[in-house]
Structure 1
Amino acid sequence: MQNNYVVATIKPWNIKEFQSLKGRLSGKWHLITSKEELSVERLEQLNPRYVFFPHWSWIVPSEILERWECVCFHMADVPYGRGGSPLQNLIVHGHKKTKLSALRMVNELDAGPVYRKVPMSLEGSASDIFHRMAPLTFQLIGDIAKNEPSPQEQEGDVVVFKRRTPKQSLLPKSGDASSLYDHIRMLDAETYPKAFLEWGKVRLTFDEARLDVDNGQLTARVKFESNE
């Protein structure tokens, strides 16, 4: 019986979660953390039942999608919110909660059938949210590996998000304390371009935002960096 599994991820919170859980997961588990490692040759050696992609930044080749059952995890209640930067786009659109969807990967981005969805909160910084998402993701991974459910086609109207660019991290010129808080917190995670302002030859970056809802006061840490 085939019991090899691959987890392909590049984010530290997922790597940490994998390392803490792999001894408790049934079967043989293998971790891939770079684009170069994810090759047909490598997967042929491992012969996995599933290849799980908790957070991957590259298009997976069609040859891999067609030969192995590949599962991605998308922070939106698909078909609403397909596409890039789901966390930031959900917060920009005013959402306070969402669903983490486990999808069979197909050549069209985030369009595959759904194994399962679980609710999750969008409160706190991006780092808070990603660290909250990691154990939920591996709960789904464990469930899929154990039960091998048949994914069901998505239902509803398709809404596609555009991937945000680093330039969009610039703080907006207008808005209240709540909207500025959301802008700072949604970018506050490792490997993400933080909220910033340009001030002459200096770039000011913002993180660790706190909002006092009662009096509408916003506080944040500011770092000065040369932009020359």
Structure 2
Amino acid sequence: MRSIVIVTIKEWNIKNYFELKAKYEKEFQFFLFTSVEELTYEAIEKIKPKYIFFPHWSWIIPKTIYEKYECVVFHMTDLPFGRGGSPLQNLIVNEIYDTKISAIRVNNELDSGDIYLKEDLNIAIGSAEEIFINASNITFQKIIPKFLKKDLKATPQEGEVTIFKRRKPFQSNLLEQDNLTINKVYDFVRMLDAEGYPKAFIPFNSLKIEFSEVHKKGDKVIGRFEVIENE
């Protein structure tokens, strides 16, 4: 029986992993790695998987692993447009709401690997976490099953390369944003509203006000705020 490895830390991916496993366990043997420390050449060698999938993974994948095994990462842009960090936030800042999930083979250069396939993804509404959950559903319910049903061939990326820069926590300051409108405030707050991301904030003396759970209601943006110590 062929083996499949999923490497992820996000709870929504872990949930989808178990649903995928239940559906295909008669055809494949599944293994789940949920930490950087687990991902070693020795551990992978014992399994000898057909594929290693990395949904929402931000750490370096050892060269010894991706040179020997077929490693697949998923990037939330229509590659080669939007290589680099913080793809969701960079897309929304640039008011690009229709994008792709690109499934690519890992190589030695960030987001430059050959492409197996792409699936549509709309990011016009919803918090970052809601979008990540939707992207996870597409990845586990549409993309990975295509790998399991037939051998997909990856082809080199074509087109002009555009690079995104990874965002820094200080860039979440709402007061530093230019030409704010109701729509831009809505986009800015929601694009940072996910586990592990620095929320949109306004500094206030030794405190800061963080914003989340926003939605638009007429000409207003309504949501949640918390006042915390400014680190």
The TM-score, its normalising length taken from structure 1, stands at: 0.95
d(CA) in 1 for partners of 2:62 and 2:223?
Answer: 41
Report the Cα offset of residue 189 of structure 1.
Answer: 1.0
User: Could you report, residue by residue, the CA deviation over 1:14-73 in whole angstroms, capped at 9, with x for unpaired residues?
Assistant: 111112221112300100010000000000011101100001121111111101110000
d(CA) in 2 for partners of 1:5 and 1:20?
Answer: 14
Aligned match of 1:194: 199
User: Could you report, residue by residue, the CA deviation over 1:97-128 in whole angstroms, capped at 9, with x for unpaired residues?
Assistant: 10111001111011011111010110211011
Which portions of structure 1, spanning 4 or more consecutive aligned residues, are displaced by more than 2 angstroms?
none
Report the Cα offset of residue 176 of structure 1.
Answer: 0.9
Aligned match of 1:222: 225
| Backbone CA RMSD of aligned residues | 1.2
For structure 2, the residue ranges without an aligned partner over 5 or more in a row are none
- 2:187 is matched by which residue type in structure 1? D
Q: Number of matched residues?
A: 225
Report SS of the residue matched to 2:112.
coil
Aligned match of 2:214: 209
For structure 1, the residue ranges without an aligned partner over 5 or more in a row are none
Aligned match of 1:147: 150
d(CA) in 1 for partners of 2:39 and 2:105?
Answer: 17
d(CA) in 1 for partners of 2:70 and 2:175?
Answer: 42
Aligned match of 1:171: 174
Report SS of the residue matched to 1:179.
helix
d(CA) in 1 for partners of 2:20 and 2:156?
Answer: 30
Query: Is contact 1:178-1:216 (8 Å) kept?
Result: no
Query: Is contact 2:6-2:32 (8 Å) kept?
Result: yes
Aligned match of 1:124: 126
d(CA) in 1 for partners of 2:181 and 2:23?
Answer: 47
Aligned match of 2:110: 109
Report SS of the residue matched to 1:48.
coil
Aligned match of 2:30: 29
d(CA) in 1 for partners of 2:66 and 2:74?
Answer: 15
Aligned match of 1:88: 89
Aligned match of 1:67: 68
Report SS of the residue matched to 2:37.
coil
Report SS of the residue matched to 2:90.
helix
Aligned match of 1:56: 57
Query: Is contact 1:10-1:33 (8 Å) kept?
Result: yes
Report the Cα offset of residue 216 of structure 1.
Answer: 2.4
Report SS of the residue matched to 1:67.
coil
Query: Is contact 1:50-1:145 (8 Å) kept?
Result: no
Report SS of the residue matched to 1:191.
coil
d(CA) in 1 for partners of 2:168 and 2:38?
Answer: 27
- 1:198 is matched by which residue type in structure 2? P
The TM-score, its normalising length taken from structure 2, stands at: 0.94
Q: Percent identity?
A: 45
